[in-house]
Structure 1
Amino acid sequence: MPSIEDPRNARSRRTRHALLVATRELIEQDGLPALTMTSAAERAGVSRRAAYLHFGSRNELIIALYRHLGETERLGESLQAVWDAPDAVSALTEWAAHIARAHPRILSVSRAVETARHDDPGAAAMWQFTMDNWLRGCTRLAEWLERDGVLHPAWTVDAARDMIWSLMSWDLLERLTIDRTWTTDEFAGRYSALLTATFVDPSRRL
Structure 2
Amino acid sequence: MSRSIDEPRNARSRRSRTALLRAARELIEDRGMAATTMAAVAERAGVSRRAVYLHFSSRADLITELFGYVNEVEDLEGRFAPVGDAPDAVTALDAFAHRHAEFASRVLAVSRAVEREAGTDPDAARHWRTAAFWRQEANRALMTRLSDEGVLAPGWTVETATDMLLALTSNGVTETLLTTRHWTPANLGHHLALLLKSTFVTRPSAEA
- Global fold match (TM > 0.5): yes
- Counterpart mapping for 1:49-64 below 5 A: 49-64=50-65
Partner residue, 1:179: 180
Report the secondary structure of 2:4's partner residue. coil
Match of 1:159 in 2: 160
Q: TM-score when scaled to structure 1?
A: 0.96
Matches within 5 A, 1:36-51: 36-51=37-52
Q: Write the deviation string for residues 33-87 of structure 1: whole angstroms up to 9, x where unpaired.
A: 1111111112112222221121111111112111111111112111111111110
Equivalent residue letter for 1:46 = V
Deviations, residues 176-200 of structure 1 (Å, cap 9, x unaligned): 1111111222111110010001100
Q: Distance in 2 between matches of 1:6 and 1:185?
A: 42
In the alignment, what sits opposite 1:106? 107
Corresponding residue SS for 1:182: coil
> Does residue 34 of structure 2 align to residue 33 of structure 1?
yes
Contact 1:15/1:46 (8 A) holds in 2:
no
| Farther off after superposition, 6-15 or 104-113 | 6-15
Q: Distance in 2 between matches of 1:32 and 1:191?
A: 30
Partner in structure 1 of residue 125 of structure 2: 124
RMSD: 1.4
List gaps (5 residues or longer) in structure 2: none
- The 2-side partners of 1:48 and 1:178 are apart by 35
Q: Which amino acid aligns with 2:100?
A: I
Give the % identical residues.
46
**Structure 1 residue 201 and structure 2 residue 202: aligned?**
yes
1:47 aligned partner, one-letter code: S
TM-score (norm 2): 0.95
**SS of aligned partner of 1:117:** coil
Counterparts of 1:6 and 1:186, CA distance in 2: 46
Q: Deviations over 1:103-152 (max 9, x none)?
A: 11011101110111000011001100000000110110010000111000
Aligned residues: 205
Q: Which runs of 5+ in 1 are unaligned?
A: none
